[in-house]
Structure 1
């Protein structure tokens, strides 16, 4: 129900998502690194799945407690609500209506709990199987057989007899003798039948002869209907609730998607670039099987961000506000941005979380307005050194002013590889800045830029242990052959990519089994802001071999052999793979 309402109010108001976002914000950096390294781009799905599993477990516990103490169940829902509301209202862009999905969800859950409890307790003894035939016991009482053959006493008339409190009525001896003979005849015909306390014969003898205590009946019917726990009614109620909840979740997710996407991307017409990119050189892609293509398709481009739910931003409502240390604050609409002279540029982006040899790097052709032109229109003050950008989901990013203003193709991008920017990659507008890791430059769904200073403000990742500055380190990767691969002896090709944005790759070297370094041949590139393919021939001999690679950028710096983790400013070291040749 909460997700259904969130589909109307906004996807990020779903309490599960809000709690997940809060979890991301509070998680220590090493744990985040582990999650990205272990689960990759599925880390968000794993987190949300974990939140749902915890919720299901707690809900099951609430259900069990509620059978004995209903108030505990309702208190549990109140606690759920408090946590959800706190997670929602502490979001940077929270509004008054954002708590509605949580409140509705808690109310619906409490109602469902009460309904299930009433349904489970709704059965009575009338729903149970008919009682077994009765038989007469001493003192005029009738015993009925329970489900396990245990006698159940039903008083027919008069008050029950107290042990030793009253004498037997006149003629009791004769009736007792007759009862004994009748019971003996029945036992001869029916044989020995078990009772809870032993054989029926033993029980009757003890009761009639006064030898030993009389066995207590297992079930006593006092004339009223006995309430019972009706498992079947409970299970059918739960099943119905699951169906309703599932339908609400699906409808809610579809409502959210429609609200965000309908008539948005499809209604955007991209203008022609005022400054188009040069055609790719003929030799930019070596077209070797298994080698990453020079242009990464949009569907294969990596995605690493803090958004558990991709922000759904209507371009008709989007604005970009530029303020802070400027002479003239600026606010642009999407239509305003499209009217500016647009530039096309080939730029490779890299995530700082990328391990040596990792997959979080990709190259695309971007279309957008130059950030420097927009910022100049606001009149940057001379002492400003930081652009604190904010995305629609509240993420912040700190970009050095001098990098954006030095003439490189830093863009407010609206298109990627010839199509309107995909929603997952920042639609309607994102930042693209060559030469910087994404966490300090590539804000997606950007809506606000505060011109400030690094000694006054901090971006999202800085207090979490990452460097305030994030220039990309020169790196190289082996794509062919893969780690653990098997090859046939003979001629083989080793190939991969190398990058050193905004400097450019000047050389790539390869060695096998710590032998001599050999220089690889390089593909052509349109400029210094993209990765570069490389390849080298190898005469593979039988056995196990370790292949290593290193790159040298255009400034003469060769990547270091010393390994370092991604935190705090990017991984370093040589990529190596081990293969078997037969």
Structure 2
């Protein structure tokens, strides 16, 4: 209970100072940073978008287990429990100050939380231990004997008697402990709720709902009538915001008030620029349909989605700042300290690389980068799609490294041509007869030119392709199949507009994206 009070009060203090100062978040971030890439990939594959919730839950479970042990130890010697709580405070404080944007003052929530927890522990230990009078036959409870004893008022005491560090005999008082614990529940719960409210959730949500999106100076092309084949189970051409994948390093989603947001453009530029959110809204806006893909996506995986984005072209901002010709890297930084290195030539070659402010007709959802994020067609997200972006430094790959590069990932991440079978699902049971095989394929910023399907190693057959508005989105495909009874293996491969056919060589996501043909099995009865 004392541990719960400590965390609740720390969260309340962090709600005032900023969620990044909450020690559980800081420790979780440190775990993310120190975890080998292979373990991170396992977590993403196993837990998907719930990987961060699992990590935070694991930290809390460890804290609860250790707190329980310290609580039992504190019953006999309070100093042991207090020392253990202080040790965890030191760990939390170190995690906070060693964050990329951490400072000495950020340890205040940890210190306040530990102090509150120590006070609660001392109080609960006192409430759990009632002084008693014992006779000369007293034997410590560890001996297994239960001697008669009386309280200071002469009442009989049935519970075991032990000795405080001061030599004073005491007995366990369950009723007083439970009433004290009930008070601790109230304190911990109220502090947690208030901390979350003070953390800016309501203010940022209100600010987001108040955003009025300007009309784009350059609207996106209308989505062609044949872009969505409307086959049951097939991924829709436009991915709804609620279904769009989320993979990032943020344990607690940054909540950035657009009124306080600024974007700093500096480094190898002639005229450093600092833009406010209102500045961005006043600039000419471009609308574009772009499919984003995570480099962690296994062949046939779910970490890909297509949306209509609205934003300011990055190239326009960089030209305004006077980007120098020898700058080959754009090092962007998120509000939570994450960094990303984007090749400059890709941003400047005419494609719709955006500082995006809207997604599918509404201001960016907080989980997807509100108020501003990057969207760059043709690059995996780890080198292009910085959410909650606040800083962009024009630099060089031989001078700077982004977050994932020293962790074993490639410095540049062009998206590889891929295809996926959505219908039928792997392992599905089908009825014999005419059926449909369908899915999506992508090759941003080149475009998909052909998709082929084969069953049981037979000849490749051309699939029908849906229409697309341009080369930056995925493309639906389908093919008819006369299914016969038995277990069948279905494979798919795509060819992009440059004539490159998807390789059958299997490779994991690290260091620059998975390869291979998506293969499923289906049982036909």
TM-score, normalising length: structure 2:
0.91
Secondary structure of 2:257's partner?
Answer: coil
- The 1:432–1:451 alpha-carbon spacing in structure 2 relative to 1, beyond 3 Å, is same
Tell me, in whole angstroms, the C-alpha distance in 2 between the residues paired with 1:484 and 1:76. Answer: 51
Partner of 2:350: 407
Quote the offset at 1:220 in angstroms.
Answer: 9.5
Contact 2:132 2:150 in 1 (8 A): no
Matched, 1:101 2:109: yes
Contact 2:132 2:151 in 1 (8 A): no
SS in 2 for 1:527: coil
Residue 235 in structure 1 maps to residue 178 in structure 2: yes
With over 3 angstroms needed to count, the CA separation of the structure-2 counterparts of 1:120 and 1:511, relative to structure 1, is: same
Asked if the contact 1:488/1:581 (under 8 Å) is kept, the reply is yes
Q: What SS does the aligned partner of 2:206 have?
A: coil
- What is the aligned partner in structure 2 of residue 74 from structure 1? 82
Given candidates 566, 571, 574, the residue that maps to 2:514 is 571
Please tell me whether residue 33 in structure 1 is matched to residue 48 in structure 2.
no
* Inter-partner Cα distance in structure 2 for 1:540 and 1:281: 31
Please say which structure displays the higher CA radius of gyration.
1
CA contact (8 A) 1:430 1:443 kept: yes
Contact 2:505 2:515 (8 Å CA) reproduced: yes
Q: Structure 2 matches for 1:385-464, cutoff 5 A? A: 385-464=328-407
Return the offset for 1:123: 5.5
CA contact (8 A) 2:14 2:21 kept: yes
**2:241 is aligned with 1:298:** yes
- Contact 1:291–1:480 at 8 Å: present in 2 too? yes
Query: What do residues 48-93 of structure 1 show as CA deviations (whole Å, max 9, x unaligned)?
Result: 0000000001111111111222111111111111111111111222
* Matched position secondary structure for 1:263: helix
Shift of 1:381: 1.2
**Distance in 2 (alpha carbons) for counterparts of 1:263 and 1:220:** 62
Q: Is residue 377 of structure 1 aligned with residue 320 of structure 2?
A: yes
C-alpha contact (below 8 Å) 1:371/1:410 kept by paired residues = yes
Q: Distance in 2 between matches of 1:259 and 1:217?
A: 59
Q: Structure 1 250/219 Cα, relative in aligned 2: closer, same or farther at 3 Å?
A: closer
Query: Aligned equivalents of 1:260 and 1:488: distance in 2?
Result: 54
Q: Structure 1 CA distance, aligned partners of 2:413 and 2:151?
A: 80
Structure 1 match to 2:119: 111
Q: Distance in 1 between matches of 2:68 and 2:440?
A: 51
What whole-Å deviation, never above 9, does each CA across 1:259-278 have from its counterpart, x for those lacking one?
55243101211111000001
Shift, 1:10, TM fit: 1.2
What is the aligned counterpart of 2:462 among 509, 513, 519? 519
Shift of 1:544: 0.7
Instruction: Give the stretch that moved more between structures: 27-36 or 1-10.
Output: 1-10
Correspondence for 2:260: 317
Distance 2:405 2:150 in 1: 73
**Greater mean alpha carbon deviation, residues 78-87 or residues 275-284:** 78-87
Residue among 18, 39, 47 paired with 1:10:
18
Unaligned runs of 5+ in 1: 126-215
- Stretches of structure 2 that go unaligned for 5 or more consecutive residues are 1-8, 134-145, 156-168
1:269–1:224 distance in 2 versus 1, CA, 3 Å? same
Equivalent residue for 2:307, pick from 353, 361, 364: 364
Report how many aligned residue pairs link the two structures.
492
Displacement after TM superposition at 1:221 (Å): 10
Distance 1:469 1:343 in 2: 25
Q: Which residue of structure 1 lines up, in the alignment, with residue 440 of structure 2?
A: 497
Runs of 4+ residues deviating >6 angstroms: 216-225
Is the deviation greater in 245-254 or in 458-467? 245-254
Give me the whole-angstrom Cα distance separating, in 2, the residues matched to 1:296 and 1:220. Answer: 72
What residue number does 1:268 align with? 211
How far, CA to CA, are the matches of 1:218 and 1:224 in structure 2?
12
Shift of 1:255: 2.4
Q: Quote the Cα distance in structure 2 between the aligned partners of 1:361 and 1:104.
A: 43
Q: Secondary structure at the match of 1:534?
A: strand
Q: Secondary structure at the match of 2:46?
A: helix
RMSD: 1.7
Corresponding residue of 2:141: none
- Is the Cα contact below 8 Å between 1:9 and 1:97 reproduced in 2? no
Give distance in 2, aligned partners of 1:370 and 1:30.
35
The alignment status of 1:62 with 2:70, answered yes or no, reads yes
